[in-house]
Structure 1
Amino acid sequence: MRTSLNCQIAVIGIGCLVFSTLLTPAAADAPDLPQPPNVLLLVADDLGYAELGCQGNEAVKTPRLDAFSQTAVRCTQAYVTAPNCSPSRAGFLTGRIPLRFGYEFNPIGARNEDPQTGLPSKQQTMAEYLHDAGYTTGLVGKWHLGGAADFHPQRHGFDEFFGFLHEGHYFVPSPWNETTTWIRRKGLPPGHGDRYEVSENLVYSSHMGHDEPDYDANNPILREGQPVVETAYFTDAITREATSFIKRYRTSPWFLYVAYNAVHSPLQAKNETLVHFSDERDIHRRIFLAMLYDLDQSVGQILEALEDTGQSQNTLVVFFSDNGGPTKETTASNLPLRDGKGSMYEGGIRVPFLIRWPGKLEGGSLSESIISTLDLFPTLQDTIGVKSQYPLDGIPITKAIESPESASGRTLYWRQGKRAALRQGRWKIVAPNGYDDASKWQIFDLEADPGEAKDLSESQPYEQQMKDLLREWNALNQQMAEPLF
């Protein structure tokens, strides 16, 4: 009886083994499926076009970004979708001109808490798209796309979030120990001009004519949705959180959006970093340079984490600024471009842009193709092969860089309040204050005049060119939605 039972068990076991073998190919024969690329988005805040060594500025210290530029493509004609923080982010995260869904303005202060102010939930973000493609997604740093519950980053596709929700934040908690801080004030005590040294490590300035915004009011540092006490200098905290994410998800595809609040105000530098810039006599500029240096070091450490974990060859890395630098406020230079943050001239919307994608783009090269941060989402769509929820406004960056002729005549559109602009090929029209009046528009030949010094609108040979571009701007403008807020 026992022998018979053993034989039955043996037969059943062999049968199961054969059945299992038929269903499951041997491991050696299994296809090696390529892992989709990781995506690392490094976004500086209010960084001027001229404020990197690789952009030609020998007075700044940005060795890590300069080294990165030697392995990346440096794009000299890269644009954002708005001249300030929030609508710019709404643009590159959705891949759509933000005015298509009414995201025109830049909420600040208590407006961030308004339940109607933020990125609409039905707009698909890159994070949602990649999450649905199997990626682990994370945001470290600044959100600024709505502070009410409906707009939380984790309701827009991010699996992890560490940072703050409003437009800015102090870099260390009060009383700002071991830092030097530059604070804007509406007025100063008599006899102090426009600067007042409150203490060795605190300077008040009235040069802007208004107070520093209340950045930290109702704006805690959050981990997911819970407030945390963060004592590290915030740029260093961003580095810590970003490198942790990269190490924890090293075996699976991931998307990490590192949204620095440097070099946005308030201007606040570590004292240990300031000593590197003792040759700079202006404390205003010295603080900015130190903040920029720490941002640069942070980028370098994050890129090192990619190398140390063996992921650098399978990671698309992009670095850019969300808009131009506010020169008077922070000293950030946009030269040789005109104006800065808030402006529709080049200094407000053209930004430093570096992209590295091993095996796809030639590292250490220079591209003069016209590109937009709108192109980021289409690049991912082209790679993943699944259509996004909405039609996208950009083109794959690889196409724009590798085939400059395909991007040379493209049209880029902007509008905010009374200001507007459109670029088509070498030509750009700008309405600095009143797009509804044709006489207020200007036209520039950016190929001959990138600094927009010579308005050609009153020159007879350019009348037809102006009419054609205005017709194009108006046609696009008709496609845009009413402002959400």
Structure 2
Amino acid sequence: MLNRKLCLVVIAALAFSPGKLLAEDKPNIVMLFIDDWAWNGSPVPMDDDMQNSHMPVLQMPNVERLAREGMKFRNAYASPQCSPSRVCLQTGQSSPRSGFTVFMNDGRQEYYDQKGYPNFPVIPCVSDMNIDEDAVTIPEALKPLGYVSAHIGKWHMRGDPGDEGYVLHDGDTDNKPGNTLPPGPQQLPNDLTDPKLMFSVTKKAIGFMEEQVRAKQPFYLQISHYAMHEGRECLPATREKYVAHPAVQAYYEKIGKTAQTVKRKDDPAIWFGMGEDLDGRIGAVLDRIKELGIEDNTYVIMVSDNGYRHSFLPGLTQPHHAHKWWVWQGGIRVPMIVKGPGIEAGTSFEGNVVNYDFLPTFVDWAGGNANELKNIDGVSLAGYMAGKTPDDEFLNRNIFFHYPHYRETMPHSAVVSGNRKLLHFYERPDVPMLFDLSKDMGEANNIAAQQPAEHKKLHDEMMAYFKEVGARIPKPNPDCDPAVYKDDKGFAKRLLWGPFEGKRPLEEDEK
């Protein structure tokens, strides 16, 4: 008997005639998925009016070229950790719906993580371990429309990409393959030629494009880079370009090191070199698309899998609070640029978009009907990229973030609706939190006390949605031991980045 996923794919296939399947006018789609990259981590200002919305030290001419030729998204959101973000991208589902909220458990299928944090204030939840069997993924949605799909690089969702419809892939990869050097404080070896596998990943991806162009076959290609994830690596010659930069030299002086003695994991020159090498590989893809004669019929998306906090340079101020693992803006706001047919060059989009919008967008681009997709949370952005003015319903829709786990974090959730953002910490439900992002991007001023009705509305809508999709919700722990909790190594960070009333003090690199 066919399982539900296969049935949905078969039904979708029957909706299109064979003559439409291989139509040569169908656009190609190339997704450049970058790992651990802050909203302000490129030289492209994500907000032209904000000085700290970019990183001008880093040289990325091809990313700047993408921004000139396409549309940048000021308010793009992702999940607070890479694996859930990848599942959102593949399925069009939010993390609360998919149940894949973290890459961090041992295969248990219980609702609660009863043994992981036995004396903490709340009992956190476990996460799903794989993409749900009945979820329709990007290649499964696009195949009936005549597409062939490849996934090159980091997968990090467990399972076999081939089972999700990818005809070419690197298997069940995680972060490890991208760390081509052993851990430790050593310097870069002089013979490093494929840092973070950037060059081999790009070569394989370009080979796939060439093969499909020869076959006149429309394709979806996801290039999931291991950069910019920690385990810093770059070509030695690229590092040398940044060692002498005054900001890098100031950092060496600040930590009492030199270019010869700094640890690899602490060296901003390697991080910058990694970014520039990545940019070169992005440029290689863009150049080959042009050489193959498919530039006018190919969408290129560049986006990060989660937010980050690049704070290693003196004087670099942070526009956001917190970083990866947290649903503060620093963990979920990401850079995003898209170019392709019908997208006006050099434009920007102000509305909120989120990683689970990609699947319906791709279906629309491919000539399908995104409205027929079932059990998804995303909406197609195709019309907005083509110039359609977003209405209030789109601009004020709720987008949801859910992290019911401990690590250095604490279980918490958020909903963003227009310029309003609500956060809910399950340890402290007595501390309501609401922010006006139009005036307070850094989330320093909690206005819940001034706008209790607005807080209640968003809180009730979030909890109703969680109930509707069956999201796992933490519960109070009757065995909580405050002394044990306080002694945990993550307590200081939780205190610093946990809930607060009124106004929080800015951190040193936020001033």
TM-score range, shorter chain: 0.7 to 0.9
Q: Deviations over 1:16-37 (max 9, x none)?
A: xxxxxxxxxxxxxxxx955211
How far apart are 1:396 and its partner, in Å? 1.4
3-state SS, counterpart of residue 128 of structure 1: helix
Q: Read off the aligned partner of 1:172 and give its amino acid letter.
A: T
- How far apart are the structure 1 equivalents of 2:391 and 2:30? 28
| 2:206 alignment partner in structure 1 | 243
| Aligned position for 2:461 | 472
- The answer as to whether partners of 2:30 and 2:301 remain within 8 angstroms in 1 is yes
Does 2:241 align with 1:276? Answer: yes
Kindly tell me: are residues 256 and 351 of structure 1, through their superposed partners in 2, closer, same or farther at Cα, counting changes over 3 Å? same
1:267 aligned onto 2:232? yes
Equivalent AA in structure 1 for residue 426 of structure 2:
G
Q: How does 1:11-410 map to 2 (within 5 A)?
A: 35-55=25-45, 56-80=54-78, 82-107=79-104, 117-146=129-158, 151-162=159-170, 165-172=173-180, 183=184, 199-201=186-188, 232-233=194-195, 234-250=197-213, 251-279=216-244, 280-281=248-249, 282=252, 283=262, 284-327=267-310, 335-358=318-341, 360-383=342-365, 384-386=367-369, 390-401=374-385, 402-406=388-392, 407-410=394-397
Secondary structure in 2 matching 1:69: helix
2:426 aligns to what? 434
Identity %: 23
SS in 1 for 2:234: strand
Partners of 2:269 and 2:389 in 1: CA distance: 41
Secondary structure of the residue aligned to 1:438 is: coil
Q: Partners of 2:317 and 2:336 in 1: how far apart?
A: 13
CA gap of 1:62–1:336, structure 2 versus 1, over 3 A, is same
Between the aligned partners of 1:235 and 1:348, the Cα distance in structure 2 is 24
> After superposition, what is the alpha-carbon deviation per residue over 1:197-221, rounded to whole angstroms, capped at 9, x for unaligned?
x65448xxxxxxxxxxxxxxxxxxx
In 2, Cα distance between equivalents of 1:58 and 1:389: 41
Q: CA RMSD in A?
A: 2.8
The CA distance in 1 between the partners of 2:27 and 2:58, in whole Å, is 32
User: For residues 267-319 of structure 1, what are the alpha-carbon distances to aligned partners after superposition, in whole Å with 9 as ceiling and x for unaligned?
Assistant: 22221211111222345211111111111111110011100000111111110
Judge which range, 281-290 or 239-248, deviates more. Answer: 281-290
Distance 1:201 1:232 in 2: 12
Measure how far apart 1:361 and its partner are. Answer: 1.7
Structure 1 residues 405, 163: closer, same or farther in 2, change over 3 A? Answer: same
Any idea what SS the aligned residue of 2:401 has? strand
**Alpha carbons 1:288, 1:330 under 8 Å: kept:** no
Aligned partner of residue 73 in structure 2, secondary structure: strand
Unaligned runs of 5+ in 2: 1-21, 46-53, 109-127, 253-261, 405-410, 474-511
1:425 equivalent among 412, 418, 424: 418
Shift of 1:63: 1.1
Deviations 1:72-106 (CA, angstroms, capped at 9, x unpaired): 100010111x2000001101110111321321222
The C-alpha deviation readout for 1:178-201, integer Å capped at 9, x for no partner, is xxxx74xxxxxxxxxxxxxx6544
Pairwise CA distance, 1:326: 4.7
Q: In the alignment, what sits opposite 1:29? A: none
Contact 1:325 1:334 (8 Å CA) reproduced: no
Could you tell me whether the CA contact under 8 Å between 1:104 and 1:483 is conserved in 2? no
Distance 2:26 2:324 in 1: 36
Secondary structure of residue in 1 paired with 2:469: coil
> How far does residue 58 in structure 1 lie from its aligned partner after superposition?
1.2
Q: CA deviation at 1:483?
A: 5.3
Whether contact under 8 Å (1:87, 1:103) holds in the other structure is yes
Against the structure 1 CA distance between its residues 482 and 51, is the aligned structure 2 distance closer, same or farther, given a 3 Å change threshold?
Answer: closer
Structure with the greater alpha carbon radius of gyration: 1
Contact 1:263 1:291 in 2 (8 A): yes
What secondary structure does 1:267 align onto? coil
Are 2:289 and 2:295, in contact at CA under 8 Å, matched by a contact in 1?
Answer: yes
CA distance in 2, matches of 1:308, 1:92: 29
SS at match of 1:43: strand
Query: What is the CA deviation profile of residues 394-434 of structure 1, one whole-angstrom value per residue up to 9, with x for unaligned ones?
Result: 22113345323342211111111111101111110112x32
Instruction: Give the conservation status (yes or no) of the 8 Å contact 1:443–1:455.
Output: yes
Alpha carbons of 1:87 and 1:200: their partners in 2 closer, same or farther (altered >3 Å)? closer
Which of the pair is proportionally richer in strand?
1
Q: Secondary structure at the match of 1:439?
A: coil
Query: Hey, what does 2:506 align to over in structure 1?
Result: none
Q: Tell me which residue corresponds to 2:498.
A: none
Question: What per-residue deviation string (whole Å, max 9, x for no partner) do you get for residues 448-483 of structure 1?
Answer: 111212111222xx1111111111111111123355
Q: Which residue type is aligned with residue 166 of structure 1?
A: D
In the alignment, which residue of structure 2 is the partner of 1:5? none
Tell me, what secondary structure is at the counterpart of 1:137? Answer: strand
Cα shift readout 1:143-198 (whole Å, capped 9, x = no counterpart)? 0010xxxx200111100013652244344365xxxxxxx74xxxxxxxxxxxxxx6
